[in-house]
Chain A
């Protein structure tokens, strides 16, 4: 039994996926809009039947008339509800970033075609946004919080778009299957104060490109470098902007090191590092990040901070592939982890 239902469900999924190809933008049409009566719609149908029987039994023409009017309106409403979605384009324009476990805001754009899209709801499993109205030919940006379960890439498999307008007796719905993923940073945990300086660390990997060479490392100027660190004399001489990265000196940058927490497991280390990044950022200190396989040179400022957090978030994670049918990093992944190995 269970196998048959699973097979059927797979078939169904497959059928839907063919109609709703993965992509950050989806225009809804006949092909991929689904429409069914809501619970209220079913009750309404039963009510019409009862009214018809009443009309027959009392030979009451006006009850017949009322029944036919309401029945025809029901069919008309089907058309109306369908039109509410058809021609509409839903696009994921900015996947969000946030801490793991939080609701990460994803920015979507709803663009109406030649008909208005009224009372539209966007939803994923644990989150819902209602009452989006887009007049014909216009667009609205909306933010749907996507609940994240853990650190890494965050991509809901399907974002459901639904409308029950005008009467709530029918619902038309479809999905967007975004290909872009947002990012959930590791949840910060207060780290024990072991600040590794990369050149101190006995286990520090010698492969780290900037580690333990000269006390001053010269490199070309990059955007974001502080002007007091530009070697202006050299600039006057040669016209080249060169920046000195000082090492081993007073006020030299601290390294936040993945290997500084022996015994802690990977996720815990990343959480410590995330806290440290936030902490350094708040203090305005200069810091670099040393992860196995990835090193971010010391710097300050929010852009640098975001870069570090992103590196922490996706370290060791593979970006979701097109074909993956399952959600990434949402709570559904955790709850339904047994459903099938995707990563």
Chain B
């Protein structure tokens, strides 16, 4: 029994590497870096995984101080099997980059339990570096990026501590050394970043994560969009070449819902299946023309691109999908930039609807909502289609309809309940109900889902469209005019369309009421608003110029440089840069060496002394101390005896004292003088024969 406990607790008889082979300070930096690297993934990882990582890393840390033991092989295997089992249960066979990244985190967590030697430390270092790269797949905001780079810095400091654990003051020096190294290498990094050719992906792996992203979806039930209204997450940002359109004209069309299935609006035709692949993340070259606009879309995992009415595609990562809608060729799994242009002269195709299409836009469920149908046939009996539309809008405008984020539940015959009883609803309710009435009245119509509005970012050079700007409205087909936008919300709550949701909900006080952490919620705190917008601006430029610096942006920049620089030239430039950097590093160290050459002055003068002795017939023996050599010299040439002894003493004191550089220089000078004296003495001695010379 006690054997078993021993094995489980790691008291194995095998002599394992002692736990303190890694200095505690180094381990602490490693754990700290791990914690930092987990932060950007906090909302992506399952909670149990984060908890497991905290426990495992904490265990390792406690083991370092000897308070607990690391688990033995059996317990370790057990923990591993349990965690992997939980993992497999969580992912349920889905294999995506997201689940792979989670597994990677799990592997890092498990590795803590077997981190004993410096080698394990390096293994952890490597996987943590790669974890940082994985982080960048999911989080590219500037603050998260800075956090990740900070984690890398901690890792590198940890390495320094590992390599010189007993060096006093090593931490401060380590940061300083790292900082200096970064500053020195910064130019090379910048040049490499700019010039390294951005190749097309070697193979395509979709980055679709399993989690649901907030954003509009391709189905709409009456309550759906009011949930989105509680989120102030960014949907996309737009910058315009020309003037920014009026608030009320900022209708961002995303997709058309043309099929009513009971209570739910959906698309009649499923989006065609696409082979998984990567979306081209940047589009658009050069300055914006006055009718163009750039959209920087946050990842949606969908293929929808949002556009103003009457747009045409400019960048080649979006295409016209018909019905004035645009689609990416692949799901947008990371931030995507695309460019469109407004072309008012564009005539909408099909001034006539074919019978099939007409049927499609008149589809209704067979039964339900009798009062709405009665109203529709009453209106249709009296008015032309255009007048029917006006009449309904008038009704919304004049009667007591409320625009609210707290609509009541309307389970049965929702349209009837909304129109005739509750008269309270959100845009999705009214858009759905209006389309129902129009169709019942024989007017082809459809629900359009997207965003409406958008606030100016800091500096006013771009718009930020947030999730709470999500909106649904109606388009009706009128003979001779084609598809016409009709927005019931504009009739009921004009503030929503003119100023946005905040104003529309001012009375009700329900704007972002469930979202306490959103800065947008506290619109009256000017400082907070300002800070949030400034941060967004930094992020926007970060996204635009650093994160979004990809193939086309690079080619765009290169095309402005003289001499047509293509992919091949970029390759040459990169190779040249790396070579140049190495050369500079070599030159710098060579230069610093020549500056350090005065250290050799001492050796040179000792060398000349040896030569002098040899010339005087006193061979220099190896391993002989300077004093012995001087004594032999003195014996052979008494004329220089005194000088030789002083010389030897000086050499000795140079060897045996930890002298400063200045004193070393003094020593060398003194030795040179002595040497000169001795040469003079020898010469004079030869000339004058036996006469005893005096000493200096």
Contacts and interface: CB of A to CB of B under 8 A. Distances in A.
B130 interface: yes
A76 B588 CA distance: 11
A24 to B, nearest CB: 7
Nearest to A111: B658
B196 A82 contact: no
A264 interface: no
A60 to B, nearest CB: 6
A111 B602 CA distance: 14
B108 to A, nearest CB: 14
Contact of B599 (A67, A89, A164, A319): A89
Interface in B526-582: 546-551, 581-582
A78 B658 contact: no
B182 A165 contact: no
B150 interface: no
Contacts of B118: 168
A58 B192 contact: no
B473 to A, nearest CB: 35
By CB atoms of chain A within 10 A, which of B130, B204, B334, B589 has the most?
Answer: B589
B163 A164 contact: yes
Interface string B568-612: 000000000000011001001110110110011001000000000
A62 B547 contact: yes
A168 B23 CA distance: 15
A58 B334 contact: yes
A329 to B, nearest CB: 15
A36 interface: no
Contact of B166 (A30, A91, A131, A165): A131
B176 to A, nearest CB: 11
Contacts of B156: 73, 167
Contacts of A40: 122
Most buried by B among A63, A71, A72, A93: A72
A127 interface: no
A322 B196 CA distance: 53
Interface in B119-137: 122, 126, 129-130, 132-133, 136-137
A66 B132 contact: yes
Contacts of A180: 622-623
Contacts of B582: 75
Contacts of A167: 156, 159-160, 163
A61 B549 contact: yes
B192 A68 contact: yes
A341 B178 CA distance: 50
B655 A91 contact: yes
Interface stretch (A133-141, A233-241, A276-284, A305-313): A133-141
A129 interface: no
Given A22-B622, A62-B140, A79-B585, A57 B203 contact: yes
A321 to B, nearest CB: 8
B628 interface: no
A59 B145 contact: no
Nearest to A29: B593
B136 A66 contact: yes
Contacts of B192: 68, 71-72
Interface in A95-150: 109, 111, 113-114, 118-119, 131, 133, 137-140
Interface stretch (A12-20, A47-55, A296-304): A47-55
Contact of B181 (A25, A29, A77, A319): A77
Most buried by B among A22, A47, A53: A47
Contact of A24 (B160, B199, B205, B623): B623
A69 B189 contact: yes
Nearest to B122: A40
A57 B548 CA distance: 14
Contacts of A76: 181, 184-185, 585
A166 B174 contact: yes
A134 B211 CA distance: 55
Contact of A43 (B122, B189, B659): B122
A56 interface: yes
A164 B160 CA distance: 10
B133 A30 contact: no
A131 B163 CA distance: 9
Given A57-B203, A139-B658, A47 B181 contact: no
B497 interface: no
Contacts of B167: 118-119, 131, 133
Contacts of A89: 599
A341 to B, nearest CB: 21
A218 interface: no
Given A29-B593, A114-B661, A62 B145 contact: yes
A174 interface: no
A330 interface: no
Nearest to A321: B622
B193 interface: yes
B207 interface: yes
A169 to B, nearest CB: 8
Contact of A58 (B122, B207, B655): B207
Contacts of A25: 603, 655
A333 interface: no
B660 interface: yes
From A69, A131, A164, A321, name the one whose CB has the most chain B CB atoms within 10 angstroms: A69
B650 to A, nearest CB: 16
B160 A30 contact: no
Contacts of A166: 159-160, 163-164, 174, 177-178
Contacts of A254: none
A24 B620 CA distance: 14
A87 B596 contact: yes
A64 B160 contact: no
A44 interface: yes
A179 interface: yes
B198 interface: yes
Nearest to B177: A166
A91 to B, nearest CB: 7
A58 B174 contact: no
B589 A30 contact: yes
A65 interface: yes
Contacts of B182: 69, 73
Given A58-B137, A66-B132, A77-B181, A93 B163 contact: no
- The listed residue with most B CB atoms (<10 A of its CB), out of A51, A59, A82, A131, is A59
A68 B581 contact: no
Interface in B86-134: 118, 122, 126, 129-130, 132-133
A138 B163 CA distance: 21
A35 to B, nearest CB: 10
Contacts of B50: none
Contacts of B588: 79
Contacts of A64: 193, 196, 198
A18 to B, nearest CB: 17
B136 A60 contact: yes
Interface in A260-297: none
Contacts of B595: 114
Interface in B185-235: 185-186, 188-189, 192-193, 196, 198-199, 201-205, 207
Nearest to B595: A114
Contacts of B193: 61, 64-65, 68
Contacts of A56: 198-199, 201-202
B626 to A, nearest CB: 11
Interface in A158-185: 164-169, 179-181
Contacts of A58: 137, 201, 205, 207, 278, 334
Given A29-B596, A114-B592, 11 more contacts: A22-B622, A44-B126, A62-B145, A66-B149, A66-B152, A72-B185, A76-B181, A118-B164, A138-B658, A181-B623, A319-B623
24 contacts: A30-B589, A43-B126, A47-B130, A58-B278, A61-B193, A62-B136, A64-B193, A65-B193, A66-B129, A66-B133, A68-B192, A72-B189, A72-B192, A73-B156, A73-B182, A75-B582, A75-B585, A79-B588, A80-B177, A119-B163, A164-B163, A167-B163, A179-B623, A180-B623
